[in-house]
Chains A and B, each alone.
Chain A
Amino acid sequence: MRMQFDEQLAILKREMITMGMLCEHAISEAAGALLDHDMKMANALPEQMEDINRKEREIENICLRLLLQQQPVARDLRTVSSALKMVTDMERVGDQSADIAEIVTMSHSSEYASSIPIRDMSEAVKKMVGNSIDAFVKEDENLAKYVVEYDDTVDGYFDVVKNKLIEMLKTPGVDGEAIMDLLMIAKYFERIGDHAVNIAGWVIFSITGQRPADA
């Protein structure tokens, strides 16, 4: 029963995976641009943003069509409404990756990037975003909770980066502007982690009907 509905839900999940992969890719490109000072990667980000935005519109359309045609209730309603909320955070992940790339193209921040654990931080938030989408597709509450908890690790990274940058500012002859830019980049990565927590929060809602207090 309701074969067409179940097919539409499967398409929705597939599109969420695609958008999630685009977001992970954007994070990798932003981190690569910074750490390898790869301008080609940095310049590719605006185009990726367009892909992410397009995917967001597509998913919104799928959700609205599902609501209109199938009038879902209970778990189905939570799945569709959660997807509608999740894409907003996913789009912000792409935006912030593009913001990082823009800073990289306009400053000398790359020169100092190897002195701070920014690679670990970018890997951590990429994993959070990937896991949060996985949790949605597999309806895995524990994985979503793990994403929420893992945010503390990312916050820890941010504190380490910040303290390290403060120390670096005291070094004579250091490029203060580049250090400030690195702090902004670290903040953007930390915000991406927060978006992953929001996404995981909606995943938990779609499974349990309850939004966790800390997401």
Chain B
Amino acid sequence: MEKTEELKINKDIPAGAVRTDMSRQEEAEPEGAAVMEAKGLNLWYGQHHALKEVSMTIPEHQITALIGPSGCGKSTFLKTLNRMNDLVPNVKITGHVGYRGKNIYDKDVDVTWLRKEIGMVFQKANPFPMSIYDNIAYGPRTHGIRSKAKLDEIVETSLKQAAIWDEVKDRLNRSALRLSGGQQQRLCIARALAVGPDILLMDESTSALDPISTGKIEDLTQELKSQVTIVMVTHNMQQAVRVSDKCAFFLLGELVEASSTQKMFSMPDDKRTEDYISGRFG
């Protein structure tokens, strides 16, 4: 009868005891405190209603990716976060964009201060036609830093943060335009970091780069997020999965869905999101 007993013992092991429970991985990680918040944001370019009642939060020290097809409003939304759209003629903006509790569209907001706090890196690297050193020192100088020692320190720290110091430390006085595309883009990130921003906006900042340069910048964003909050627009779905913590899907000016990246790419709530991320859109 020993055999029976043994079989009985085996049978008594709870069915779920030895299995991998994949559902646990699906649980959304708690979102960090919001450093920015859009509430009921609308934007018109002339007659064109480009952003419709967008409300979402940007969690601090995380990477938020904005995805969606061309013309969906993701870059427009990104630019509202440091008022880059102010420069566009015939633009009308209503609603609220909060940065650390302050509406950045209030009349008393100093836009220069805002853009120092919330820096931006663009799709195409745009180094100034000057030396590597002067590219980085440009921002701090305009904010009143004159000391050579202080500027040297900022240049070195910023270039190190942007993971390009080792490649350029021996030629800081050479023209930035002689760097490769990937190096120029990292230089632009270093330039944005030189003024000590709180948030970094990246508008398709790797879309023109080869996979190795893209990989370097993706690694860099992971290093940087302990110091700055990052919001990026990307057309590369795999990049959004690899680097972002939170993801927002835009379509025709609407925010369709915003959630943790893990959730969005495993269990999106909206059919339109699922169709877009799985490449079945349209």
Contact = CB atoms under 8 A, between A and B. Distances in A.
Contacts of A71: 238
Contacts of B212: none
A74 B281 contact: no
Contacts of B16: 213-215
Given A183-B7, A194-B15, A211 B280 contact: no
Contacts of A117: none
Interface in B1-46: 3-4, 7, 11, 15-16, 19, 21-23, 26
Interface in A5-28: 5
A180 B15 contact: no
Interface string A96-108: 0000000000000
Nearest to A159: B11
A205 B22 contact: yes
Interface residues of A, number: 31
Nearest to B26: A209
Contacts, number: 62
Interface string B249-282: 0000000000000000111100000100111111
Interface string B48-60: 0000000000000
A68 interface: no
B281 A1 contact: yes
Interface string A68-101: 0001111111100000000000000000000000
Interface residues of B, number: 25
Interface string B180-212: 000000000000000000000000000000000
Contacts of B22: 205, 211
B241 interface: yes
A74 B268 contact: yes
B168 interface: no
Q: Could you tell me the dominant secondary structure of chain A's interface residues?
A: helix
Interface in A177-205: 180, 183-184, 187, 190, 194, 197-198, 201, 205
B237 interface: yes
A210 B268 CA distance: 13
A205 B23 CA distance: 8
B277 A180 contact: no
Interface in A128-147: none
A209 B3 contact: no
A174 interface: no
B265 to A, nearest CB: 5
Contacts of B279: 1-2, 5
Interface string B212-250: 000000000000000000000000011001000000000
A72 B279 CA distance: 9
Contacts of A37: none
